[in-house]
Amino acid sequence: TDEFMCQSWGGSDDDLMYEIGMELSSIDRRRIVIKCPVTAAGTRAAARLVRSGVRVCLTACYNKNQALVAAGCGAEYIAPYLGRMTDVGRDGLSECRSMQSIVTGMGSSTRILVASIRKVDDMSTLASSGCDTFTF
> What's the pLDDT tens digit per position in 19-69?
999 999 999 999 999 999 999 999 999 999 999 999 999 999 999 999 999
Q: What is the pLDDT of residues 68-86, one digit of tens each?
A: 999 999 999 999 999 999 9
- 35 noted as active-site residue: yes
- Which one from 34, 35, 37, 47 is the annotated catalytic residue? 35
Residue 108 gets the label, from left (phi > 0), alpha (psi -120 to 50) or beta, of: beta
3-state SS, residue 61: strand
Phi, psi torsion values for 52, nearest 5 degrees: -90, 5
pTM of the model as a whole: 0.94
> H helices within 13-81, ranges in order?
14-25, 40-51, 65-73
